[in-house]
Structure 1
Amino acid sequence: MGGTAVGGMAAGGGSDAATAESVEMFVCGNGVHTDLVLPAVTPAMDWVEELAAGPFPATERWVTHFAFGWGDRAFYLQTRRWSDLSPATALSALVGGGPSVMHVTALRSPAGSPDCGRLLLGEERYRALVDHVRGSFRRTGDGAVMPLPGSGYGPTDLFFEAVGQYSPILTCNEWTGRGLRAAGVAVGAWTPFAGGVMRWVR
């Protein structure tokens, strides 16, 4: 899907014109799953502060972005590698109805990655996207996110309690699509598969 060249890299067709207030964000996929990749700190949102309770390197100087992916708790936590996928876990995810988690990964900027599409969003649209992501975290009574210690695949990622239930209708990729729609990015009306998201942002 074509876009406007901004800053030497093609921006997705849903991008705003580049201004001083524009926020650069990415949508990245591996062919099966998609993540929203947002800058660590902007005037609209400080994810470092939001995620500081998690025992992973949210505050390290090299961290410029966080990747957010929502999905089925059992599938995420029991399938660290594709070889770990069991028929029971696959069937449970297919049927849906189980609890969800948010997977957060600390990253350097993915600019230039062939697995990612780039978008520029004005502040209002970016805030709408942030509201979608923030609203997907389950929180304590005082509003803090709820990390699951020791749940990450490595030292730079961590899982958090999330709201909502994964289903064949609300998949991990449809969650991404809903966030993009909330931000006014043109995507399909329903995006259950990774390809249905990525075609709109590349």
Structure 2
Amino acid sequence: MRIVRIGVVLALVVPAIAAGAYLLASAVLSRLAVEGRPAAREGVEVFVCTNGIHTDLVLPAVTDTVDWTIDLPDGDFPGAGPQASHRSFGWGDRAFYLETRQWSDLRFATALSALFGRGPSVMHVYALHSPAGSPDCGMLVLKEGQYGALAAFVRDSFRRDGAGRVMPLPGSGYGATDLFYEAVGHYSPVETCNEWTGKALRAAGVTVGAWTPFEGGIMRWAR
């Protein structure tokens, strides 16, 4: 009986310690700056937006550096209209994204799969107007080289076919202005959707935390 009690205690205590260590590491490392380049006064305006849990990068659809409409044409987003000046990018676990459209849809198996990084990932793309002025977004100005590095990171996050084309999932969007695409990598407690955003910003030379698994760790640097 004593052994059973010890086992029960360990089953409760060990996960609690692990969760506490995880949260502590996040709190410390998300504030530990990876210094980037000085903020630019002129260049390409990009946005980092949050829904309170998840962060997206919102980039101009067309600049001198990259034309996203080549990989992500307007026809993929029939409800957006010709005035959609930007594309938003959010990376994450495929099952979680596609099967959990509302929190009430969340299943234990889906959460467990995402937690242990077993499933494939997707890129969620919206065609939208500029979010300038939105309280949910922060704006950054990047020099051309910085934006090129950011765009290269995002581009390399898409899984591509043998001809180098992105791989959309037809009918997967939440509406007529968004669509999901096959992506590379696997979601895990370390490689979260928000850490993907953090990696993209670090690739562009933006000062951001060393590890950013939660949206707060991103937005404190982006706002």
TM-score > 0.5 by shorter chain: yes
- What is the aligned partner in structure 1 of residue 204 from structure 2? 183
Q: Distance in 1 between matches of 2:80 and 2:64?
A: 17
- What is the aligned partner in structure 2 of residue 16 from structure 1? 39
Q: Residue by residue, what CA displacement relative to the aligned partner does 1:153-188 show, whole Å, maximum 9, x if unpaired? A: 000000000011111111000000000000000111
| Structure number with bigger Rg | 2
Amino acid at match of 1:74: A
Specify every segment of 5 or more residues in structure 1 that has no aligned partner in the other structure, as ranges.
1-12
- What is the aligned partner in structure 2 of residue 5 from structure 1? none
Decide which of 170, 180, 185 is 1:149's aligned counterpart. Answer: 170
Matching of residues 1-202 of structure 1 within 5 Å: 16-19=39-42, 22-52=43-73, 55-57=76-78, 60-202=81-223
TM-score (norm 1): 0.88
Identity of aligned residues (%): 69
Q: Displaced runs of 4+ in structure 1, greater than 6 A?
A: none
- Give the secondary-structure state (helix, strand or coil) at the position aligned to 1:160: strand
- What is the aligned partner in structure 1 of residue 3 from structure 2? none
Distance 1:14 1:32, change over 3 A: farther
- Two-structure CA RMSD over aligned residues (Å): 1.8
Q: Distance in 2 between matches of 1:137 and 1:120?
A: 24
Deviation of 1:111 after TM superposition, in Å, equals: 0.3
CA contact (8 A) 1:51 1:58 kept: no
The structure carrying a bigger strand percent of its residues is: 1
TM-score (norm 2): 0.80
Q: Distance in 1 between matches of 2:37 and 2:46?
A: 12
Distance 1:62 1:54, change over 3 A: closer
